[in-house]
A and B are shown apart, each in its own frame.
Chain A
Amino acid sequence: MAELVLRNISKRFGGLLAVDNLDLDVSEGMILSLIGPNGAGKTTVFNMITGVYPPSHGTITYRGNKLNHLRSNRIIRNGIARTFQNIRLFKSMTVLENVQVGLHCRTKSGAFRALFRTPHQKQEEKEIIDRAMEILEFLGLVDYRNEYASYLPYGDQRRLEIARAVATQPHMLLLDEPAAGMNPRETAELMELIIKLRDTGLTIFLVEHDMRLVMGISEIVTVLDHGQKIAEGTPKQVQENERVIEAYLGTKSKERA
């Protein structure tokens, strides 16, 4: 059975049907991309998976557990992590601290241990720093560890978002348009990074507009239009699919008119 299973998922915002009866399977260890024109409901799918809002209909199952009405932090703890379309870092915290926040859900010492600075708490703080440094090293951000997150260059801010997500020790990483606003060189670096992350055993679920990135690394591409799945398959199959071409370029009859 696939790692993440979406069955008959719908989301209605007032009169707008953002996602319409979507079925989606994400298998372990693969890179899956969700693409579609603007407003197709891609980010809505991510928001439902991570519990920002519940689906109006249908079930989301992750490794056999139903996620529908869990709080976001519980879902993250179950092993799903995500980044955001518009970067949402903790701006007045340092780069290292941003990653340390990601480790929150994997550590335990509470306020009383912090107040009395028990040996257990000290030990854990040390582990948090070591682990965060490892992650920063993996993502090549170690030299920036003491910078405030808001001072980082744009591409590195995106990297830091990934670092923070990776810090929650997920099995599955949802990346919401990670290449948005990046130049070709940065995008190429990002591609390498995503493959590197997958090779550590992460499942990657990608929402992206940059077709070079999507077609370059995805194993399966799912195309969404007006909240409905219109195609699914390997990058090659999807590129040749009539309905996908229609959705992106308009129908032939319209072109003739």
Chain B
Amino acid sequence: MPSSNVKKFIVYSLFMGILILPMVGLPSTGFEITRALLVWGVFVGILAFWLLGKSIRGSDAFQSAAGGLAPFRSRLFDNFTKVPTKIYLCLLLFALAAYPQVANNYMVDVGITCLIYVVLGLGLDIVVGLAGLLDLGYIAFYAVGAYTYSLLNLHFGLSFWSCLPIGIVLGAVCGCIIGYPTLRMRGDYLAIVTMGFGEIIRLVLNNWDKLTKGPNGLLGMAKPAIGYPSFAEGGVKWVSYSLKSLHSLYYLILLIAVLTVIGVGRLNNSRIGRAWIAIREDEVAAELSGVPTTWLKLLAYAMGAAFASVAGAFFASKLSYTNPNFFIFMESCIVLCIVVLGGVGSIPGIVLAGIVLIAVPEVSRELQNYRMLVFGLAMAVMMVLRPEGLIPATRHKRELHETEGETYGE
């Protein structure tokens, strides 16, 4: 092992020791040195393993061995890339569709939560990832969707499906209302103002007792239902089937998530998406290349809010309950983490991060309070090692002629 790696090992382990030993070893009473050392030991072990692997990979012997294997590896890689991406996508979709059949109810519930956050992450990606507007109050639009459905359903008995377009429009309008005063702001200032707006919406929901029942929340919304024609008893009748079971709700949110992925993907590679990225890269240059930046920034807020609103309506109907405490600032942070960790502007990255960030803390509940420690540490390590995200965004490549693309793998 080269000396630089040894030095790194010592410094990193000491740093983690300073961090972990007091945090883990000092519960309310006494000093539990063995437990603290155990946790520290695990981390030091992982670190040693990683550094060892790194130095082996860097060594000459390994390099020459890898050189011998290179043709084999590239052939294997070619075989994987030769298969069109569509087939992989179909496989992935099939796996996601089959998931509830093999998982228990709890796991399906976690899956639903993951997919809700995937939708939220992708929606926020329009605002943060594409248009480059740092939004810390995004969860407010999720609340708008949830409350729109709840109120319309409870007071007017409107169905989930008729509430969706209303929610989308209301969400988009709220997006514009929040977006309009912030159009001239950038970076830090924008983050602070959007955070304030997010809190305002939550506080309004919390205190407008007459309409929202305040912190008690709203209860008893109908689940989404689908109608199908029934041919019994001679005539054709429409029978509505309420999506009460977790399984059917899972498939509904899966459908919403897939549509969101397709929608955001299409926006990303359209004239509008390119204009958004141009604004993110250099707003002045974008404006002076003929892009109406003001209008497009408002549009980004509105589109992002619309997706969040759909997720919110689904969330409220799934629980048949909603209250303002679901929409705290921490939720905005988690959604932002999904976008940043996944890779700003990268759809596969955000899907993966949405699933990982929500599922991992759920699955690791046995670790009790350490799970948040692990969660935070994992985030910090990720940001140091891969600041561009799990799957960094790449831009679409174009071949001169369509046929060239087909024969590329040969």
How many Å lie between the Cα of A167 and that of B286 in the bound state? 13
B272 within 8 A of A: yes
Whole-angstrom distance between the Cβ of B246 and the nearest chain A Cβ: 29
A117 within 8 A of B: yes
* Beta-carbon contact of B278 and A71 below 8 Å: no
A146 within 8 A of B: yes
How many Å lie between the Cα of A110 and that of B270 in the bound state? 9
Complex contacts, B397 vs chain A, CB 8 Å: 94, 146
* Beta-carbon contact of A111 and B299 below 8 Å: yes
* Beta-carbon contact of B286 and A101 below 8 Å: yes
How many Å lie between the Cα of A161 and that of B270 in the bound state? 21
The 8 A CB mask of B31-58 against A (1 = contact, 0 = none) is 0000000000000000000000000000
Whole-angstrom distance between the Cβ of A135 and the nearest chain B Cβ: 13
* Beta-carbon contact of A72 and B395 below 8 Å: no
Q: Which of B154-172 contact A (CB under 8 A)?
A: none
Q: Please, could you name 17 A-B residue pairs with CB atoms under 8 Å apart, sorted by A?
A: A52-B288, A71-B294, A73-B287, A73-B292, A73-B293, A77-B290, A88-B282, A88-B285, A92-B281, A97-B277, A102-B289, A104-B275, A106-B290, A115-B263, A124-B271, A145-B398, A168-B289
A109 within 8 A of B: yes
A11 within 8 A of B: no
B267 within 8 A of A: yes
* Beta-carbon contact of B395 and A94 below 8 Å: yes
* Beta-carbon contact of A105 and B271 below 8 Å: no
How many Å lie between the Cα of A96 and that of B397 in the bound state? 9
Query: Which size bracket describes the interface of B in this complex?
Result: 20 to 34
* Beta-carbon contact of B272 and A111 below 8 Å: yes
Known: A105-B292, A146-B397. 14 other contacts (CB 8 A): A76-B289, A88-B282, A92-B393, A92-B395, A97-B395, A101-B286, A103-B271, A104-B278, A111-B270, A111-B303, A117-B266, A124-B271, A129-B398, A145-B398
A179 within 8 A of B: no
* Beta-carbon contact of A90 and B277 below 8 Å: yes
- 8 Å CB contact of B285 from A90, A124, A148: A90
How many Å lie between the Cα of A121 and that of B273 in the bound state? 13
B284 within 8 A of A: yes
- 8 Å CB contact of B271 from A115, A125, A148: A125
Complex contacts, A129 vs chain B, CB 8 Å: 398
How many Å lie between the Cα of A165 and that of B293 in the bound state? 17
- 8 Å CB contact of A72 from B272, B287, B303: B287
How many Å lie between the Cα of A93 and that of B282 in the bound state? 11
- 8 Å CB contact of A93 from B271, B284, B395: B395
